[in-house]
A = this chain, B = another copy of it.
Amino acid sequence: MTPTRAALLITGSEILLGRIQDQNSAYLAQQLDEQGIDLTRIVIVSDESDAISTGLADLLQDDVGMVITSGGLGPTHDDRTVEAIARVSGRPLVVDEATRLQIAAITRRFAEQRGIDHGVFAAGDEKQAMIPRGASVLAPVGTAPGLVVSVNKQVVVVLPGPPHELRQMWPRAMAHPRVAALTTAASDRYTIRLYEAPESRVADAFAEVGGDENGTRTTICAGRGEVEVVVRSGSANPGQGAALASRLRERLAKYVYSTEATPLAEIVIRELRQRRLTLALAESCTGGGVAAALTRIAGASDVVLGGLVVYADDAKRDLLGIDPRVLAEHGAVSAACAAAMARAVRERLHASIGVSVTGIAGPGGATPTKPVGLVFLHATSDACDLPLERHFPGPRGVVQDWAVTAALQLTRRIAVGEDHT
């Protein structure tokens, strides 16, 4: 069965003005992929009613079965998505009384909690309860209801803009019969994740094994020292991807660290938990970024005992008890200091594993022998020590991101027992 094609219409002048970053398209893209729906285009337009209706009409002219919109459902004057959809679908706007009561109950609770007069919400409640006649309503997560609207043979799914509202509403949209009918079994896919493989080496390997054949579709995506390869079988030739992926895995074996889509931080937490290992972190140039990445994952508290952000030299001495001679002789950005930091934090927190990062994120702080981007990492356990020195290119944020990834990879390696020295 040929997959349904879909498009996204994201509304928001604040996105076009660079005030906020769109987060919804990344989430919806992943969800559609899992449902075997082929996302062909994402379009971002302003909050103007004309921009929304033109954007929607353009997308409906493409050969797509579904358009999903996000944003423009709030109570304020610049929330105009529903009005635009009414226009494009040729359906008049009507107040849905059941929805209005549902919204009023939500705003009443809110008003009571904050001690505000509920009357100020009345106009917003009614505005948010206006729907194109005949549309199905998806119950609100915040105060904005979603919609499923048929436009000829196509379906338009209308979702709110705030990312957590959109995510909570998405399953309700998927459960709607008009939407559920569009999903197909996702084509088989094979993920290969590589660390510190040159992208050109991956491209060469791909060419050497023959490249895409029989409808396979391969994407190669690099960032933060990682390369992710995803091979998909064509819908006409299921199973073709498996052989290609297996040849690639073989050729690039020394770089492969995972064959699943799970985020790296989640892999690290899982590997630690499976082995009942605990982790302590000492961070300098990443400033808490490694700890923050790990603690985003639910259940991190089982394995991450804590960490120290020892940004200043005094903090390295006072909080970690780093020998001032190490700092004086080698400097804070050195293999010796990284090793001392990892060992000290492990000991202080009684953890199975200690991991440290110290480096020069820039733009200031470089010396003739220690350029911006120079980073020392260290992982230590009862069994072994893994030191690592890297020079990451790019501005401050890039150096920090690469250093966080390197620290997570080092943690993974020591947890699973790779490269014991």
Chain A residues in contact with chain B, CB under 8 A? 12-23, 25-33, 39-47, 51, 55, 58, 74-78, 107, 110, 114, 116, 120-121, 124, 162, 164, 167, 198-204, 206-207, 211-212, 217-223, 228, 230, 261, 281, 283, 285-292, 294-296, 298-301, 304-312, 314-315, 318-319, 348-350, 361-365, 394-398, 400
Closest chain B residue, CB of each to CB of A191:
B19
Chain B residues with CB under 8 Å of A306's CB are 308-312, 315, 319
CB distance from A170 to the nearest CB of B (A): 13
Q: A200-B121, A291-B287, A291-B309 are contacts. A19–B221 as well, Cβ < 8 Å?
A: yes
Q: How far is the CA of A221 from the CA of B51 in the complex (A)?
A: 18
Q: So how many copies of this chain end up in the complex?
A: 2
Dominant SS at the A interface? mixed
Closest chain B residue, CB of each to CB of A363:
B298
CB < 8 Å neighbour of A308 from B206, B319, B394? B319
Q: How far is the CA of A219 from the CA of B21 in the complex (A)?
A: 15
Chain B residues with CB under 8 Å of A400's CB are 295-296
User: Closest 8 interchain pairs by CB?
Assistant: A287-B295, A18-B30, A288-B288, A288-B291, A18-B29, A306-B315, A42-B44, A76-B203
CB distance from A7 to the nearest CB of B (A): 10
Asked whether, in the complex, the Cβ of A17 is within 8 Å of the Cβ of B287, the reply is no
Q: A23-B21, A219-B13, A295-B288 are contacts. A309–B311 as well, Cβ < 8 Å?
A: no
A15, A223, A307: most-surrounded residue (chain B CB, <10 A): A307
Closest chain B residue, CB of each to CB of A394:
B164
CB distance from A304 to the nearest CB of B (A): 5
Asked whether, in the complex, the Cβ of B311 is within 8 Å of the Cβ of A199, the reply is no
Chain B residues with CB under 8 Å of A315's CB are 305-306, 349
Q: A42-B16, A309-B307, A394-B164 are contacts. A76–B121 as well, Cβ < 8 Å?
A: no
Q: A42-B16, A203-B75 are contacts. A304–B311 as well, Cβ < 8 Å?
A: yes
Chain B residues with CB under 8 Å of A291's CB are 287-288, 291-292, 309, 311
Chain B residues with CB under 8 Å of A26's CB are 15, 18, 20-22
Asked whether, in the complex, the Cβ of B39 is within 8 Å of the Cβ of A41, the reply is no
Closest chain B residue, CB of each to CB of A114:
B198
CB < 8 Å neighbour of A29 from B16, B204, B308? B16
Q: How far is the CA of A14 from the CA of B25 in the complex (A)?
A: 12
Q: How far is the CA of A51 from the CA of B43 in the complex (A)?
A: 13
